[in-house]
Amino acid sequence: MPQEARNCTLCYIENDRGEYLMLHRVKKKNDVNQDKWIGVGGKFEPGESPEECLLREVREETGFCLERFRLRGLVTFLAEPWPTEYMFLYTADAYFGQLKDCDEGELRWVPKDQVFDLPIWEGDRLFLRLLRQERPFFSLKLVYRGESLAQAILDGKDMEL
């Protein structure tokens, strides 16, 4: 029987030095993102809206309270054996609070042009490029076979990989 789909958020917090706050996932056991660098976010709790999930997850993982954020896209992940995941992708550029230690990994400010040098998922490279291009709201479907990106569909059209 197929598993239910999951909803989650992911946010790339930007500072005024042209950096993203990145999370190096090194602390959780059995983590699908083990050793990868990603933004911050997580799974919806029952009854949460995407914005409520975003605000809660960012506060829990970073200590920051977001003051300004934008929903940039919806990313659909298909990767056996995990359930389908719908990820609401955000950027944020206004926040307050003290950066704290994260129990899921190491948080570090990384210059945007150096993010692509880190071990990140192939699909993340695609949506990070779309963010840098200031592309209007997009829908991106990513199909993985193991850790390899097998297919990417942007706004209903196949992308060349």
Residue by residue, pLDDT tens for the chain (161 residues) are: 456 899 999 999 999 999 999 999 876 666 666 688 999 999 999 999 999 999 999 999 999 999 999 999 999 999 988 899 999 999 999 999 999 999 889 999 999 999 999 999 999 999 999 999 999 999 999 999 988 999 999 999 999 88
Q: Residue type for 103, please?
A: D
**Residue 1 within a domain:** no
Whether residue 48 lies inside any domain: the answer is yes
40 with 106: CB under 8 angstroms? no
pLDDT (0 to 100) of residue 32: 67
Asked if residue 100 lies in contact with residue 62, where contact means CB atoms within 8 angstroms, the answer is yes
Domain housing 101: 6-158
Q: What is the pLDDT of residue 103?
A: 87
Q: How many domains does the chain have?
A: 1
